Amino acid sequence: MRYERPATIEDVTALLASGGEKSFVLAGGTDLLVRMKNDAFEADLIVDIKAIEGMSDVTRTADGFEIGAAVPCAALGENAELSRVWPGVVEAANLIGSTQIQGRCTISGNLCNASPAADSVPAMVAAGALARIAGPDGRRTVPVQDIPQGPGKTSLRKGEFIEAIVLPDPGPRSGDAYLRFIPRTEMDIAVVGVGVQLTLAEDGSIASARVALGAVGPKVIEATEAAETIIGTRLDQPALDALAAVCSEVSTPIADKRGTVDFRKQVVGVLAARAAKIAYQRAGED
Amino acid sequence: MASLPVSTTINSDDVEYLCHADESLLDVLRDRLGLMGAKEGCGTGDCGACSVIMDGRVVCSCLVLGAEAEGRNIETIEGMADGNTLHPLQQKFIEHAALQCGICTPGFLMAAKALLDTNPDPSEEEIRFWLAGNLCRCTGYDKIVRAVADAAIVMREERA
């Protein structure tokens, strides 16, 4: 195995493009290095991106935030401005693993690991986050939900890697929230996760909404039909019931040791309604 | 496999070593540098027995490559006491009997130090959540939590 720590993005993409099939980007390593402990897994090339300038920075831009691919999740929670504007995304990122994992793990890595149960991903999708990809042929920017293609599979092409996650400014009267179900208080993998983002009209009704569901399909589900049930409402009980029903309907979970299909389909509706309420309250205070 | 030269700082000392690309920082500390305080429990970041502080953040050294330590500042349990004077956390762990077999203790101490370095007055809940990545099969945790809370008081008094 080769370890490289290039200083430029161009060098990263060149290394990844010329490396074998088993070439990997190393940021926090909390998924990659665990996989490497497994004897069946062998990496040919590991490209550490942490020596690249700006890769470990959260940057406030004119229209949002850019979160470098090597920013540990703990640093997101320490960023007061980001936590104020995108509390749901930050809470989701801070749910991942222990303090030790928080010091290393990244939301770009959470996305690229492509686990259906990734906590930060539904929150990012609800937030309308974009992934900025660098590759041998230059840069492209895609919605976050276009990256995972199924368990462990991404749409990244040979030589490409995510250099930053871009969170747009949500505008006034906006709020977001992420909730997950686990059978204990922390240090567990989501049985179901739901991210909701809302923006209110001046009269307090919901002007726009995004709902994203995690761990109830092979990849994150952006539930557009579910979001439509609450747009135009003030999140009264019929709207919450409709939201929950559609979330259950569009979910396609598997049954495993963490939960049955029926359980997950029910819980996804309950969590969607609860997350929507939190997002609604936050939007009202914004 | 070629060896990589690494220059780093461990417990305020400049340290240079050679390591393999796939070698963990934990293995470097224990097998190359003779710093045996950090323990390998699970090797997959679940138990916290290998916790060290890297650039102010507590991390599992089993999930850091030795090569990644280049240019970083590493603190291990070996640097915690000041000569023969124990750190307040070490002293309170003894007083509260917050250890039995001791395998998890260096990890708990490093994680607790990282907590108190950033949050000098944590609530019991904050201590428990912060230390949730450190597993102890002996004490039942209550003694550890009490020792950390008590050490926090001592450290606040020392600062005052």
- Domain boundaries A2-49+57-168, corresponding CATH code: 3.30.465.10
In the prediction, which pLDDT does B1 show? 64
What's the confidence (pLDDT) of residue A38? 80
**Fold: same for B3-79 and B88-159:** no
> B61 — contact with chain A (CB < 8 Å)?
no
- The CATH number of B3-79 is 3.10.20.30
CATH number corresponding to B88-159: 1.10.150.120
Question: The whole model's pTM is what?
Answer: 0.96
- pLDDT under 50 in chain B at which residues? none
Interface of B with A in 70-99 (CB under 8 A): 70
Task: Please give the mean pLDDT across all residues of chain A.
Answer: 97
Chain B: closest CA distance from residue A28 (Å): 8
Residue B60 touches chain A, beta carbons under 8 Å = yes
**Contact list, A48 vs chain B (CB under 8 Å):** 65, 67-68
Determine whether the interchain pair A101/B43 forms a contact, defined as Cβ–Cβ distance below 8 Å: no
pLDDT computed for residue B160 by the predictor:
84
User: Within an 8 Å CB–CB cutoff, is residue A101 touching chain B?
Assistant: yes
The helix (H) or strand (E) run that includes residue A124 is helix A120-126
pLDDT at A193 over 70: yes
Listed by start position, the domains of chain A span 2-49+57-168, 174-285
Cα–Cα distances in angstroms (integers) from residue B117 to residues A169, B89, B102, B152, in the given order: 33, 12, 23, 10
pLDDT at A187: 86
Chain B residue whose CA is closest to A74 = B57
Mean pLDDT of A3-9: 98
Rounded distance between C-alpha atoms, residue A151 and residue A219, angstroms: 7
Domain locations in chain B?
Answer: 3-79, 88-159
Chain A contact for B54 (CB, 8 A cutoff) = yes
Chain A environment of B62 (Cβ under 8 Å): 33
pLDDT score at A40? 80
Query: What's the rounded mean pLDDT across residues A209-227?
Result: 98
CB-nearest partner of A104 from B1, B44, B63? B63
- Confidence band of A184 (pLDDT split at 50, 70, 90): confident
ipTM of model: 0.97
- Name the 3-class secondary structure at A49: coil
B135 touches chain A (CB under 8 A): no
Q: How confident is the model at residue A250 (pLDDT cuts 50, 70, 90)?
A: very high
pLDDT score for B23: 96
pLDDT class of A42 with cuts at 50, 70, 90: confident
pLDDT 10s digits, B16-37: 999 999 999 999 999 999 999 9
A99 and B67 in contact by Cβ < 8 A? no
Q: What is the 3-state secondary structure (H, E, C) of A63-115?
A: CEEEEECCCCHHHHHCCHHHHHHCHHHHHHHHCCCCHHHHCCCCHHHHHHCCC
What are the tens digits of pLDDT across the range B81-105?
999 999 999 999 999 999 999 999 9
* Residue A247: pLDDT over 80: yes
Can you say how many angstroms the Cα of residue A76 is from the centroid of all Cα atoms in its chain? 13
Inform me whether the pLDDT recorded for A234 exceeds 90: yes
Alpha-carbon torsion (A232, A234, A235, A241), positive or negative: negative
Per-residue pLDDT tens digits for A92-140: 999 999 999 999 999 999 999 999 999 999 999 999 999 999 999 999 9
Contacts of B58 in chain A (CB under 8 A): 99-100, 103
Q: Residues 2 to 31 of A: which have CB under 8 A from any B CB?
A: 2-3, 5, 26, 29-30
Listed range (A35-44, A119-128, A277-286, B144-153) with the worst mean pLDDT: A35-44
A39 pLDDT more than 80: no
Residues B75, B80, B85: CA angle, nearest 5 degrees: 160
Distance CA A109, CA B102 (A): 34
Q: Indicate the CATH number for domain A174-285.
A: 3.30.390.50
